[in-house]
Chains A and B, each alone.
Chain A
Amino acid sequence: MADLIRILASIFLAIPKGLATTFKHLFRKTITIDYPRKPAKFAPRYRGLHYLTRYPDGEERCVACGLCAIACPSDCIYLEPEENERGERVAKLYEIDEIRCIFCGYCEEACPEEAIRLGWEFEFSQYDRKNFVWTKEMLLENFDKLEKGRAKGFIREKKFQFRAEPETYF
C-alpha cells in the first residue's frame, strides 16, 4: 500500500513536473554550432596554429634565442640561429612539428620578443605526416594572413579581442 501511494504520488506530481521541464526545453534556442556551414566561434584565448610575428616594418621579431624550444614540453620546436647582413641574430631554421605540439602555449609565454604566438587556425589537416612540420616561412605567412584578415575586418577575427598585442608590451 505504501508502495502504491508513493508511485501514485510520483505519477501525479513528479512526472508532470518532468514533462513540463522537457516541454519548456522544446522551445529553447538550440545550442548546436552549425560548424562546417558557419564559422566556428572561439574563446578569446583559443590556442590554435602558431604564427611568427613581424614588426610593423616587416622585420621578423624572432631572435632565435631558443627559449621557446627549451620551454616546449613536447620538444616540437627546432631552430637554428644565424646572423643577417646587419649583424643581427635571426632564425635560420624555425620548425614546429604540429603533430607533436600539444598547444599548451608555453612557447609564447617563454618568448621574450613576443615572436611566437598561437593563433586561431585549426583547420590544417594534411594527408601526410611529413607535411605537419611548419617551417619559418610558413609560420610568418600565417601571421601575414592574419594581418590581412584583420585589415579586411575578417569576421572570425572580429568576434574577440586579441590577447595583449606585441606593441602594447613596450
Chain B
Amino acid sequence: MLIPIIIMVVKVLVIFAGLMTCVAYMTYAERKVVAHIQVRKGPLFVGYHGLLQPIADAVKLLFKEDFTLAGCNKIIYNLAPLVTFIPALLAIAVIPVGDQITVAGETTNLMISDLNVGILFIFAVSSLGIYGLVLGGWSANSKYSLLGALRSSAQMISYEVSLGLSVIGVLLLAGTLSLNEIVKAQSGGILDWFIFRQPIGFLLFVTAAIAETNRIPFDLPEAEAELVGGYHTEYAGMKFAMFFMGEYASMITVSALAATLFLGGWSGPILPPVVWFLLKMSFFLFSYIWIRGTLPRFRYDQLMRFGWLVLFPLALLNTMVTALIAIL
C-alpha cells in the first residue's frame, strides 16, 4: 500500500522539479540562442557562461517590491498569475516521459497519471490558463492590460479550435486518447511516427501551438511595441514572473505533447526512453526559440485571418481526409 504512494510522490516531485528546471533554463537557453542568432553573446557573467543567470533572475524578482495598484481589483489581481501558472503545470501530468519500469515489485508508467483521456485533459487544463490572462489584464484597471488580455483571449480561442482539430488526425489513426497508447502505436520505428502519416496535421499542430502559447510570431497579447507589455503590463516581481513561468511551462507542455503525438514520444533505439523523450522535446523547444529569432510579429487582422481562413479549413480538411482513409 505504501510503496505505490511513495512511487507516486517521487514521480510527482521529479517531474515537477524537472519541469521547473526546464522552465528556468528555457529562459537562459532562449536568451543565449536569440543572442547568438543576433551575433551577440547573451548572458555571460553569472556563473560559467552565465549558467547561473536564471537563479540570479529569480533572486532579483523575489526581492522586488510586492506592490498593489491603486485602482485594481486586489483579489483577482493577486489570483490571476496563479490561475495562469498552475494549469500550465498540471498539463504535464499526463505526458509519458518514459517506458514502464518496475520498482520494488511495482510496475509503473513514467507519467504521473495514465488518464485514458489524456489529450482531452491537456486541452481542458491548458485552456484554463486563458482565464488568468484575461483576469490579470482586466483586474489591473489599465487600458494596455485590458487590450492585451482581450487580444490574447480572442487569439487563444481562435487557435484552440485548430489545435484540437489538428490532433484529431492522430487520434483517428491511433484509435485512443491515452498518450501512452499513442506512443505505443508509434514505437515500431521511425516510419511509424505520426509526423509521416500526418504531415499536415503536424504543421498545423506546431503553428497552432505557437499561437496557443502566445509566442512570436503570434505574441500579439504582449506586443511590446503597441501594448507596452499586454496583460502583464501592471505586474511586477514574482507575480510577473509567474505569468512568464506559466508561459514557459505551457511551451514545455506543448513541446512534450508534440513529441509524444508526432515524433513517437519516448520510443527510440539504444538510448534510454527518457533521453529520447527529452531530446525530442528539446528539439521543439529549440524550434520555438529559433522561430522567435526568425519571424516578425503578425498584425492583428492577419493573425485572425490566418487562424480562421487558413489553419481552420486546413485542419478540417485534414481531419476529413484522415477520417476517410481511416475508415477505408
Residues of A within 8 A of B (CB): 3-4, 7-8, 11, 15, 18-19, 21-23, 25-32, 34
Cβ–Cβ < 8 Å partners of B41 in chain A: 30, 32, 34
Per the bound structure, the CA–CA distance linking A34 and B309 in Å amounts to 48
Cross-interface CB contact of A21 among B33, B40, B294, B306, cutoff 8 Å: B294
User: With A15-B295, A22-B290, A23-B290 in contact, do A31 and B309 touch (Cβ < 8 Å)?
Assistant: no
Per the bound structure, the CA–CA distance linking A32 and B40 in Å amounts to 6
A-B contact count (CB 8 A): 45
Are B295 and A18 in contact, CB atoms less than 8 angstroms apart?
A: yes
B interface: dominant SS: helix
Which 10 interchain pairs have the tightest Cβ spacing?
A32-B41, A22-B294, A18-B294, A22-B37, A30-B41, A22-B293, A26-B36, A25-B37, A31-B39, A28-B39
Cross-interface CB contact of A26 among B33, B306, B309, B313, cutoff 8 Å: B33
Q: Which residue of B lies closest to A28 (CB)?
A: B39
User: With A15-B295, A18-B294, A19-B291 in contact, do A30 and B40 touch (Cβ < 8 Å)?
Assistant: yes
B59 on the interface (CB 8 Å rule)?
no
Per the bound structure, the CA–CA distance linking A28 and B41 in Å amounts to 11
B310 on the interface (CB 8 Å rule)?
yes
B38 on the interface (CB 8 Å rule)?
yes
B58 on the interface (CB 8 Å rule)?
no
Cross-interface CB contact of A19 among B33, B39, B294, B309, cutoff 8 Å: B294
CB distance from A13 to the nearest CB of B (A): 14
Cβ–Cβ < 8 Å partners of B310 in chain A: 3-4, 7-8
B203 on the interface (CB 8 Å rule)?
yes
